[in-house]
């Protein structure tokens, strides 16, 4: 689908990285980018986010390039989105909607699809006034309309019913996952979760560590569904490794909420491997974004090791760096070239010792 990107620079220092990331998101969703309109503003316009002059320029550019959709590199209010569509006579997709669309495209598991549908419905509920088709047609309209009930009220009720049903189904799956985690904990199995910014190479590292075949690609959100494998690491014993969804700046809160069940693998892990793209110039900002999401889901205090991946692209050799008190802080690896993996395994084994001691002490206290 031919798309025109409208990119707004409000003076933020990481604007170029933000714009490049949105371009990658758009291409990942299958868009053919026919043009990009860059807009400089001090603050958003209340009605259209951009000014009338740039809006007119966008309309002319979209018509000239044959654009079929407008991709807007910001989160728009429902009114702004509606107003833009009235002027441009094209569908306008903002950053949040585009991320939701990519999640819908990539979700493979039953649980992943349910989580995406929940996030989409919750986002849709704030934008009901702009729907072009009525929701009741999906369920059959006869018997659905209450006495004197408006179309908008009925649409809200249908979405509310769907959201409740999805939450119940996800809650059942979360309970099953919790039961599996408790069984692993009773068996004394170390739980390790890979976390990190999207496209940092988590799935490639997961495959290299576990010899699994998880999908890995050089694109944003290649992995949405948590994949878990059990491996043996000398010095740590049996270890369960989980590959989780990547994070991104301005990750929609609806997605964080919807994926909370999946992200519980991260919250409940004994150890986090925070995978970082060592060759990315924005890596420090990406680390901060991941830390922000980890705090939001309750995993801020989980022990972690920073794993700098893609060192082959950064010209760095494999090594381990320690904190001043001697514990492992950072491990430098290349998952693609499988270099430094022995160092990472030894780091996991070393980190497992205090974790194992804490677990055994906890079990002793419970039995007393």
pTM to 2 decimal places? 0.71
pLDDT higher at 186 or 332: 332
Structure-block tokens of residue 211: 């010899």
Cβ-based burial of 270 (10 A; exposed 0-12, middle 13-18, buried ≥19): buried
**What DSSP designation does 249 have?**
T
- Counting residues of the chain whose pLDDT is more than 90, the rounded percentage is 41
Helix (H, G, I), strand (E, B) or coil at 340: coil
What's the pLDDT tens digit per position in 351-365? 988 765 554 444 433
**Beta carbons of 37 and 54 less than 8 angstroms apart:** yes
Q: What b/e sequence results for 348-359 when a residue is b if at least 16 CB atoms lie within 10 Å of its CB, and e otherwise?
A: bbebbeebeeee
Is 129 annotated to bind ligand? Answer: no
| Beta strands 237-243 and 2-9, pairing class | unpaired
Is 329 annotated to bind ligand? Answer: no
Q: Which CATH architecture has domain 2-101?
A: 3-Layer(aba) Sandwich (3.40)
Residue 226: its pLDDT value, please? 65
In the numeric block, the tokens 């409940």 are attached to: 268
**Beta carbons of 166 and 254 less than 8 angstroms apart:** no
Helix (H, G, I), strand (E, B) or coil at 230: strand
State how far the Cα of 324 lies from the Cα of 322, in Å rounded to an integer: 7
Where exactly does CATH 3.40.50.11060 map onto the chain?
2-101
State how far the Cα of 141 lies from the Cα of 135, in Å rounded to an integer: 9
Residue 103: its pLDDT value, please? 76
Is 143 annotated to bind ligand? Answer: no
Is 45 annotated to bind ligand? Answer: no
Secondary structure percentages of the chain, helix, strand, coil, to 5 = 50, 20, 30
Kind and range of the H or E element at 2?
A: strand 2-9
Beta strands per DSSP E along 85-179: 91-94
**Beta carbons of 94 and 7 less than 8 angstroms apart:** no
Helix (H, G, I), strand (E, B) or coil at 146: coil
Is 98 annotated to bind ligand? Answer: no
Q: Quick count: other Cβ atoms within 10 Å of Cβ 73?
A: 24
**Beta carbons of 93 and 69 less than 8 angstroms apart:** yes
**Beta carbons of 332 and 305 less than 8 angstroms apart:** no
Residue 259: its pLDDT value, please? 62
Residue 130: its pLDDT value, please? 44
Is 72 annotated to bind ligand? Answer: no
Q: Mean pLDDT for the chain?
A: 81
Kind and range of the H or E element at 6?
A: strand 2-9
What's the pLDDT tens digit per position in 90-146? 999 998 888 888 777 767 667 777 877 888 887 777 776 544 444 444 444 333 344
Residue 227: its pLDDT value, please? 76
What's the pLDDT tens digit per position in 216-272? 555 555 444 567 888 999 998 889 898 877 777 776 666 676 666 556 667 778 999
State how far the Cα of 27 lies from the Cα of 30, in Å rounded to an integer: 5
Residue 132: its pLDDT value, please? 40
> pLDDT class for 166, splitting at 50, 70, 90?
confident
Is 317 annotated to bind ligand? Answer: no
Helix (H, G, I), strand (E, B) or coil at 311: helix
Is 200 annotated to bind ligand? Answer: yes
Where exactly does CATH 3.40.50.300 map onto the chain?
188-367
State how far the Cα of 46 lies from the Cα of 50, in Å rounded to an integer: 9
Is 207 annotated to bind ligand? Answer: no
In the numeric block, the tokens 């740039």 are attached to: 54
| Beta strands 227-233 and 237-243, pairing class | antiparallel
Is 270 annotated to bind ligand? Answer: no
213 pLDDT higher than 90: no
Residue 141: its pLDDT value, please? 39
Is 245 annotated to bind ligand? Answer: yes
Is 221 annotated to bind ligand? Answer: yes
Contacting residues for 140 by C-beta, under 8 A, at least 6 apart: none
CATH number of the structural domain 188-367: 3.40.50.300
What's the pLDDT tens digit per position in 301-345? 999 999 999 999 999 999 999 999 999 999 999 999 999 999 999
**Beta carbons of 118 and 167 less than 8 angstroms apart:** yes
Q: Quick count: other Cβ atoms within 10 Å of Cβ 180?
A: 12
31 pLDDT higher than 50: yes
State how far the Cα of 13 lies from the Cα of 206, in Å rounded to an integer: 33
State how far the Cα of 49 lies from the Cα of 95, in Å rounded to an integer: 13
Is 198 annotated to bind ligand? Answer: yes
Is 2 annotated to bind ligand? Answer: no
């Amino acid at each position: 689908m031919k798309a025109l990107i409208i990119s707004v620079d409000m003076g933020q220092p990481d604007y170029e990285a933000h714009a490049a990331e949105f371009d990658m998101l758009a291409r990942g969703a299958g868009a053919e980018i026919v043009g990009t309109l860059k807009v400089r503003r001090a603050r958003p316009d209340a009605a259209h986010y951009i000014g009338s002059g740039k809006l007119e320029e966008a309309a002319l550019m979209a018509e000239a390039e044959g654009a079929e959709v407008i991709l807007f590199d910001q989160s728009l209010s429902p009114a702004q989105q509606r107003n833009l569509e009235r002027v441009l006579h094209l569908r306008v997709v903002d950053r949040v909607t585009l991320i939701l669309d990519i999640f819908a495209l990539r979700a493979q598991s039953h649980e992943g699809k349910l989580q995406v549908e929940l996030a989409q419905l919750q986002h849709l509920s704030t934008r009901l006034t702009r729907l072009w088709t009525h929701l009741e047609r999906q369920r059959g309209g006869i018997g659905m309309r209450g006495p004197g009930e408006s179309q908008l009220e009925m649409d809200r009720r249908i979405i509310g019913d769907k959201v409740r049903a999805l939450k119940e189904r996800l809650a059942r799956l979360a309970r099953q996952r919790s039961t599996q985690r408790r069984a692993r904990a009773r068996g004394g199995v170390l739980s390790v979760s890979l976390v990190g910014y999207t496209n940092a190479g988590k799935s490639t590292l997961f495959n290299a560590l576990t010899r699994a075949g998880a999908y890995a690609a050089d694109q944003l959100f290649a992995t949405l569904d948590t994949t878990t494998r059990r491996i043996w690491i000398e010095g740590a014993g049996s270890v369960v490794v989980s590959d989780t969804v990547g994070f991104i700046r301005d990750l929609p809160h609806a997605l964080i909420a919807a994926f909370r069940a999946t992200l519980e693998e991260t919250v409940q892990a004994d150890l986090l491997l925070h995978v970082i793209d060592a060759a990315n110039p924005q890596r420090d900002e990406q680390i901060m974004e991941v830390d922000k999401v980890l705090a939001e889901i309750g995993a801020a205090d989980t022990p972690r090791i920073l794993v700098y991946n893609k060192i082959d692209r950064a010209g760095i050799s494999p090594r381990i760096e320690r904190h001043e008190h001697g514990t492992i802080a950072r491990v430098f690896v290349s998952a693609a070239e499988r270099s430094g993996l022995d160092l990472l395994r030894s780091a996991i084994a070393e980190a497992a010792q205090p974790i194992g001691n804490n677990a055994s002490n906890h079990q002793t206290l419970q039995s007393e």
